[in-house]
Each structure stands twice: as structure tokens, then as C-alpha cells.
Amino acid sequence: MTASLDAAIDEYLRYLQVERGLAANTIAAYAADLALLSAFMDARATTTDVRAAVAAELDGGVLLEFLSHLGRPGQSARSQARRWVAARGLFKWMRREGDLGADPTQGVAVPRFAKRLPTLLSREEIAALLAAPGTSTPLALRDTALLEFMYGSGCRVSETLALTLVRLDVDAGHATVDGKGGKHRLVPISAYAATALREYLSHGRPRLLRPGAKSAIRAALFLNGRGGLLSRQGWFSRLREHAITAGITRPISPHKLRHSFATHLLEGGADLRIVQALLGHADISTTQVYTHVSAAHTRAAYDRHHPRA
């Protein structure tokens, strides 16, 4: 069965990439999950025909057995749920393509998992982090602009590092980013971010850009210290350095800037639908997790300051 199922998986992954426009990281995660499914089914296979194999051997019970098989100690419920989503997506696609007579996931619920509340930085930590790079070098100007832009817009790190000069309009106060699924959205540039970006564009980026750079590099907004494209790993490393300078000792990531952006907006009274649009969430339920974070923040403040708490 492996060869036939693997061929179906390859076609499905191409569909996700070309027609659905999913990000490369998402495609890679689905590929890994479906490779595990293929190996599991190969151990049970009695035929190499996908249609016959699924009809004879794949049903909801077998798929739940697959998840149980992978549910070793240390495997989170979230990982199991993601694998279920990957398998369900594959078989629904095969059903639509006519490769299956029935969807074996039909009627079987996705395993539930508790949603983890995102961790964020306080306003005081954000202020210290934004001030940490300074403005004394081209890289310092770049990092200040990056931090101000990410906290001021709520953009993902992938969206930020993919920004090009033509997508940026500092004077108008907005930028156009490519979100998940290839969807474009307009994000705001705060007054602080605009000032930092102008400084970087005037005095930082020209000193980082090398003569004869390729067109993709000349078009990119954020460059690395060697005059190339700034990578996620490079930015992670710089961010950790700035966090230490700011006195932030707990783990940090660029996504915490996004979490902080959303939560601070809601705490300031912003409408949930506006925050959803700014974050580029397709489903408002994804945004609603920040209302729980905001409520937790309110409760913590109450417990600290009310005499009867």
C-alpha cells in the first residue's frame, strides 16, 4: 500500500502548496504527519490498491488506533490532533478526487486538547525591549525598526522578514504583508515605527546593502550584517540578545511581540473584530484566546491590588 498511498500523499501536498497556498512550514508538518500514517498503514497492508486498502482497512477505529499508536509519553494532545487533521484532510481530498468511495474520518471527532494561553510581555518589558538595540550602528537601527514594526503591527516574523520596499509606505502609515494562504492584508505603521523605519532607511540599510547585490536583496526591507536577506534564525538570535539587555530572563520569541500587540489592544478597549483583522485571522475563534489572556491579566491585577482579593 505504501507506494500508492505515498503517491496520493504527494499529490495532496502539491494541492496544498499550489491551490491552497499553505506556508512551507505547514506543508512540512503535514508531510511528516502523513509519512507516519503511511508507515502505520504499511504495517497493516494486505493490498497495494489505495481504494481497496482504505475500504478494507481504514475506518474511524483504525485511525484512532493510529493516534493511540503515536500517543507515546511526551506526545501532546495538540500533536495528536494535528495528525488527525492531516489525515482527515488527506482522505477528504481523496474522496473529492474520486479515489475513495467513502471518507473514513466521517463522523469521528477530532481529539480535543486544551488551548494554551499565549505568553506575552508586559508594557514595561516591551518598553525596555524596544529601547535595548539603541541607534548607534546600522544593525542597531535595523533592530529598533524591526521591533517597533512587529510590536506596532502584530505581524508574524515570516510576514515581517518577507517585506519589500515597494510594500512599505511609511508616509501613509501602512504596509502590505503576505499572510497565511497567500492572503494580502494592510497593517498599520505606528508613529514610533515610522520614525525608526525612516532612520533605518536613511542611515542603516544603505550601509548594509552591498554594491552589486542581487535584485531580491535590493528589494528586501530588512538585511543582515553581511548585506544579505535576514533569516528567522538570525533575528531570533538578535532578539534574545536584546531581551537580555532589557533584563528579560524568561524565554522569548518574535511571536511574543504579536501576542503582546493583540492583548494590549484588547486591554486598551479595541474591538475583537478589529484585532482579528489586524492579525489576519480567518476565524475569530483564533483571536478569542486573547480575551482569556486579557481576563487573566485583569484578575491578576485585582488579586495584587484589591484589599479583599
Residues 78 and 38: their CA atoms lie apart, in Å, by 20
SS3 223: strand
Active site residue 51: no
- Residue 186 zone, left/alpha/beta (φ > 0; ψ -120 to 50; rest): beta
Write down the catalytic residue from 180, 198, 207, 297.
180
3-state DSSP of 15-35: HHHHCCCCCHHHHHHHHHHHH
Q: Give the amino acid at 232.
A: R
Write down the catalytic residue from 205, 256, 258, 259.
258
- 287 and 276 in contact (C-beta within 8 Å)? yes
Active site residue 258: yes
Write down the catalytic residue from 156, 205, 242, 256.
156
Residues 6+ apart with CB under 8 A from 203: 138, 141
Active site residue 306: no
- 159 and 150 in contact (C-beta within 8 Å)? no
Chain centroid, CA 173 distance in Å: 24
C-alpha cell at 168: 512599505
Residues 131 and 192: their CA atoms lie apart, in Å, by 11
C-alpha cell at 201: 532607511
Active site residue 256: no
What are the helix (H) ranges across 19-76?
A: 24-44, 50-57, 60-70
Active site residue 281: yes
Residues 137 and 207: their CA atoms lie apart, in Å, by 10
Active site residue 255: yes
C-alpha cell at 9: 500523499
Residues 123 and 110: their CA atoms lie apart, in Å, by 37
Residues 160 and 167: their CA atoms lie apart, in Å, by 11
Q: Which residues are catalytic?
A: 156, 180, 255, 258, 281, 290
